[in-house]
Amino acid sequence: MTFSIAFRRLVTLLAPISLAAALAACGTTQAEKDAATPVEKLYADAMDDAEGANYDRAIKALDRIEGKAAGSILAQQAQLELAYLYWKTADKVQALATIDRFIKLHPSSPALDYALYLRGVINFNDDLGWLSTFTGQNLAERDQAAARESYQSFKQLSEQFPDSKYTPDARIRMDFTVNMLAEYEVRVANYYMRRGAYVAAANRAKESVIEFPQTASTAEALHVMVLSYDKLGLTQLRDDAQRVLNKNFPDSTFSDTKPKSAWWKFW
């Protein structure tokens, strides 16, 4: 028997075995592959995918890690990364659901400060997207439920973890959010004023002054109160509001105490 004939017979004998092995490999499910792969390797691969902007694949891998390594520190880390990637891909609902689940399940986690910060950022960046480019709409003109949620998350972070590396940025965002919320209230009050709903205008402006007393919109809120009370014939309340405005914001354009230029001065 020549070598070539022997070789062909060997190939013929091994072919069914090779085919069976190939079919077995093709039949392996992703779950079976994951079961055979260490979670550390799955996590490293997921981070590589995220780094390469392959977010969908990274999200799927992190989701599998969370289930496979439940209860471990790595599973907690995967959950945080998952929330971040959901936010990164503009899936706010899933991002908030994931981060809220983390906070509920791991209240003593060493990463709780980051979780609170991330929840604040997810709501803080609930912006207008591409539509604002065409409408010119200000964030303060929209419903502010998300902004209030953001503020509460940052507030909890700053109170519970004052020394966290995320707290300084959270406090800056809190200041911005408070000013935005105050501006929103004043815009609503002005909306009511333009439509002759003076009681609603006065109440909304008063609410802004009480809730956000030290913001850039407070002087205008007091001015709306003055105008509303005047329209309603409530002279005592009108004068009280004007007195508060003059005392606390003497340089405001809404104040009676702001110096007026003489009529003959043109410069």
Does residue 134 contact residue 110 with C-beta atoms inside 8 Å?
no
The pLDDT value recorded for residue 246 is: 94
Per the model's pLDDT, the better-predicted residue between 6 and 166 turns out to be: 166
> Which phi and psi (to 5°) does residue 173 adopt?
-65, -35
Per the model's pLDDT, the better-predicted residue between 84 and 260 turns out to be: 84
The closest alpha carbon to 177, from 212, 145, 215, 147, belongs to: 147
Residue 52: pLDDT band with limits 50, 70, 90: very high
Q: What percent of the chain has pLDDT over 90?
A: 60
Residue 12: pLDDT band with limits 50, 70, 90: very low
Structure tokens at 232: 């309603």
Question: Cα–Cα distance between 1 and 17 in angstroms, integer?
Answer: 24
Reply yes or no on whether the pLDDT at 19 is more than 60: no
**Whole-structure pTM value:** 0.72
**In terms of residues, how long is the chain?**
267
- 3-class DSSP state of 162: coil
Does residue 150 contact residue 144 with C-beta atoms inside 8 Å?
no
The pLDDT value recorded for residue 68 is: 80
Reply yes or no on whether the pLDDT at 4 is more than 50: no
The closest alpha carbon to 128, from 117, 116, 141, 119, belongs to: 141
Reply yes or no on whether the pLDDT at 134 is more than 80: no
Residue 256: pLDDT band with limits 50, 70, 90: confident
- Distance of alpha carbon 5 from its chain centroid, rounded? 71
Does residue 198 contact residue 190 with C-beta atoms inside 8 Å?
no
The pLDDT value recorded for residue 72 is: 86
Mean pLDDT of 6-15: 43
Residue 265: pLDDT band with limits 50, 70, 90: very low
The pLDDT value recorded for residue 141 is: 55
Per the model's pLDDT, the better-predicted residue between 127 and 170 turns out to be: 170
Mean pLDDT of 233-237: 96
